Structure 1
């Protein structure tokens, strides 16, 4: 007789951000019964009870009879906004990381995905780390047109978060493979900066993520130098640029007006006084909440190519979810933000090559 995996039941409950009492009510069972199941006093609950719990959680029944999930350790994760997150949101976000494991492992069993090509830059300061990885990747000091595409080509697995505004982004290493999860609710420019910020953590804090403002400032500074090389900035932006000039120029580097203004100050193109005046104009114009002349959101090339190849064998997202024993909405939540509404890659885009194992 199959034994219910209690760790998977707990995982799904946390992923859905439900208390035990809420789950029991939704499943139509008593809290006492759920407690007895959860503590192992009821080893083999009836099929009707498991089905009710599965329906309440929106997970397939067979999900709860598989082996333990390789869960993400919070101590190994970089969270940009940990203090703003509730315990439920943290648990749900960590669970999404575990779902990323499941999806990546399954895809890796069918394709040879790009191998990680990142460096251990713990000994370097943020600006040096940004310059070092640019040299290593051979991109010089020119702007990066599509950061997600670049990251994927260097072996980073990029997924989407669907946890609301309080969870900006996070990253971690697992079995020498780097992962980045992005919240695509925010502007395209902010998501792009978040991705660069998380790359900084992966490179500079690989063996642990100490908390603190200094660590986050270092990752922000790395992102600024990575996306806006100072040589290129000084060559293309005049001293004391106006807000209009900042807006017309920001598309070159794919950053927000606020990020470009701050970088201009750090690079000596703006005095403290001019920077403060510029910040007032940005706030007054409403550009902190709505980005002017917003750039198109970057999309995954890797996962689109994977889905294209799988479609040739008649794999839909529904059949993929079935093979993974996951609900369709979880597969969608991992990919939709970096894929967009259209699943198939446009024919005029050249995706990275994939080799079938």
Structure 2
């Protein structure tokens, strides 16, 4: 049987590596950025555009799909892939982070998370076993265990308690996943490392995740309000604790700086809503830093969004036209800006893979970030 994850090359100057994930809907080259399609769609982007850019895997969310359209609809559609007409891979988040963000509306119990729907106030229970069953029904190519995420600044005791619950839920999730796999389910389960910003807890959680021996491991509980230097410290510290042979996934990062930092530390997968969310607000990536297309000085600027970008938006439209679309609240603005931002990050990661293969990733990162500086007067 083909191994799930194969490391192709490790950069000789750091922990960055390239590899391949063997998944039911085709191979995925790593490192890889995954666009977020929370509700079964990446906002303002068609599946044809996602394929044209070159994405091999996207992310959807168990919590949101469970509530709407509901499991009955997706089951009748024979899974999420045919429902949304996406022929490639899908990773589904367990919903743990969404429940975390709904703190006033949820109660964490040993059996699972009881929460009130943000749609209609109805009460639901997500258990670790139930979340595996839901993601199996969705047809997820990679599914995540249910976990407890804690925010920046919580006490050691609270973080330790969340870690203990997450570890218990991992055992239960894996048992259910093994049963599903024995019955023909081909998707992979990832454990999640928690521990907040306490190194001893991170060590304990990483050891438990490794012991569970799931196909991959995710690093959770980062980018939850901490400063950038703290993120970098705990990312590097946690990544070094994980088994080298398993794919590593950092959840919820999408800036070029954070992506390159993660790749340097040997992270293989990452996702974020940032490229499409900022695109809808008129903010786009360029090699010289982010720019706001709604500024008055874009009115007569007929240059492309990024002169160094080869995407169809930069080839065919100007900053002046994009500003016009934004000011007139045309939907096309969100579509074009989101396309460009996703293309930008996909190109960044593709270039990073090439640099790793040539043992020059650290130089690539330094050169990119030296140019990627905020332009004077780029603000709102």
Q: What TM-score do you get using the length of structure 2 for normalisation? A: 0.23
| Bigger Rg, which one | 1
Q: TM-score, normalised by structure 1?
A: 0.25
More helix by share: 1
